[in-house]
């Protein structure tokens, strides 16, 4: 494997630790990255809590969720979220799935989650909500196969975030840093909105403000600065 390839998988491990340290994920949740040389494959940890993921835990799958590296590790049951989204969105290279407690209320109440702070503009306007019940009836709410995953991906459309009723959310990005930091600031934005709703009427970001702030969010300066800080925080607090 090349140095760049090694760096990609190391970054995937760091992303797991950042998401855990920022309380975006707990014992559950996961992040994937598309194979840089084979767009029909992706990498994701075996079934472990993100906080303790190591490089040796990383597995390789095709987009149908089949292990292709001969690993005997137990895979995540919801790897189909990643395969289906990567299948439907060729420009996306990383997917985060989590159960953030700040985000879940907006998927079950009819109160829309909207951009409210400049750093949270990345969540976008008109965030879709996927309700597995609508097509599949009573289930355990988990995305257990590609049929579930493709229905989720269809509802995601071209959005960055999709809420999953009674379950959590999925967040996408063109690279690991983008998906990771979008998931972090999604949680922050949801928390700020929940607090603001207790005080009175909210003035949300306009579509134009959302666009400009999102452009800044994805700039190299912003990405590198935040990533460096959150990665260092993992080291300091470990």
Report which secondary-structure segment, H or E, holds 88: helix 79-88
Is 5 in contact with 36 (CB distance < 8 Å)? yes
Does residue 11 have an active-site annotation? Answer: no
Q: Which element (helix H / strand E) includes 193?
A: helix 176-197
Q: Of 51, 78, 209, 228, which residue is the catalytic one?
A: 78
Residues facing residue 33 across a β-bridge:
43, 94
Q: Exposure pattern of 208-223 as b/e (b: 16+ CB <10 Å)?
A: eebeebbeebbeeeeb
Burial of residue 137 (number of CB atoms within 10 Å: 0-12, 13-18, 19+): exposed
Contact 155, 162 (CB under 8 A): yes
124: left (phi > 0), else alpha (psi -120 to 50), else beta? left
Residues with catalytic roles: 78
């Amino acid at each position: 494997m090349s140095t760049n390839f090694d760096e990609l998988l190391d970054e995937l491990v760091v992303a797991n630790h950042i998401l855990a340290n920022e309380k975006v994920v707990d014992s559950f949740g996961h992040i994937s990255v598309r194979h840089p040389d084979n767009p029909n494959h992706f990498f994701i940890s075996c079934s472990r809590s993100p906080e303790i993921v190591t490089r040796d835990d990383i597995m390789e799958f095709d987009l149908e969720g089949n292990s292709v590296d001969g690993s005997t590790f137990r895979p995540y049951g919801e790897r189909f979220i990643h395969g289906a989204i990567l299948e439907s969105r060729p420009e996306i290279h990383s997917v985060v799935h989590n159960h953030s407690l700040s985000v879940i209320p907006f998927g079950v109440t009819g109160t829309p989650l909207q951009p409210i702070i400049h750093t949270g503009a990345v969540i976008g306007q008109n965030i879709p909500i996927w309700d597995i019940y609508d097509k599949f009836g009573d289930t355990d709410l988990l995305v257990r196969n590609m049929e579930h995953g493709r229905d989720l991906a269809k509802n995601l459309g071209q959005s960055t975030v999709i809420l999953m009723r009674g379950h959590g959310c999925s967040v996408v990005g063109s690279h690991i840093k983008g998906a990771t930091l979008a998931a972090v600031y999604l949680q922050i934005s949801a928390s700020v909105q929940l607090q603001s709703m207790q005080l009175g009427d909210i003035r949300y970001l306009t579509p134009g403000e959302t666009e400009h702030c999102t452009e800044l969010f994805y700039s190299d300066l912003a990405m590198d600065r935040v990533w460096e800080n959150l990665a260092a925080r993992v080291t300091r607090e470990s």
